[in-house]
């Protein structure tokens, strides 16, 4: 049994009068396998954002955002420690997190550049 949402969606699809048009602009009969608005034989392109080049400024900003979360975690996980020790532990965690975060950003950016260079090189070979 179809859910209420599925029944509404199916009813909406049958309620509208769709006209199928081919590439030349002629009306054609639908073959039943496609949904209205779909182009035959195509998958929609994925929208992929290019990673930004790594920057220390962005990394420090990320560290400033995560520092209170890390402090809250240290505060909740070790309630018996004095406040100075909790702050010290948080600063140590942030001191490890910031460079690690920068190197991860750099790793992903460089791997993206290598993939893009390989794709451009492969498309250059096909175009020749």
Distance, in Å, from the CA atom of 106 to the CA atom of 104, rounded to the nearest integer, reads 5
Residue 32 region, left (φ>0) first, then alpha (ψ -120 to 50), else beta?
Answer: left
Question: Which residue intervals of 4-82 are DSSP H helices?
Answer: 4-15, 56-77
Q: What is the mean pLDDT of residues 88-112?
A: 95
Tokens of 124: 């250059």
pLDDT at 57: 96
Task: Tell me: pLDDT of 83 over 90.
Answer: yes
pTM above 0.85, yes or no: no
Q: What is the pLDDT of residues 31-71, one digit of tens each?
A: 665 555 555 555 666 677 788 899 999 999 999 999 999 99
18 by Cβ neighbours in 10 Å (0-12 / 13-18 / 19+) ranks as exposed
Distance, in Å, from the CA atom of 60 to the CA atom of 105, rounded to the nearest integer, reads 12
């Amino acid at each position: 049994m179809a859910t209420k949402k599925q029944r509404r969606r199916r009813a909406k699809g049958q309620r509208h009068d769709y006209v199928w048009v081919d590439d030349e602009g002629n009306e054609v009969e639908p073959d039943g396998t496609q949904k209205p608005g779909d182009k035959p034989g195509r998958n929609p392109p994925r929208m992929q954002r290019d990673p930004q080049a790594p920057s220390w400024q962005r990394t420090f900003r990320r560290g400033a955002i995560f520092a209170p979360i890390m402090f809250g975690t240290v505060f909740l996980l070790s309630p018996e420690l004095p406040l100075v020790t909790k702050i010290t532990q948080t600063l140590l965690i942030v001191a490890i997190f910031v460079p690690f975060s920068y190197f991860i950003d750099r790793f992903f950016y460089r791997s993206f550049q290598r993939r893009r260079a390989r794709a451009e090189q492969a498309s250059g070979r096909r175009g020749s």
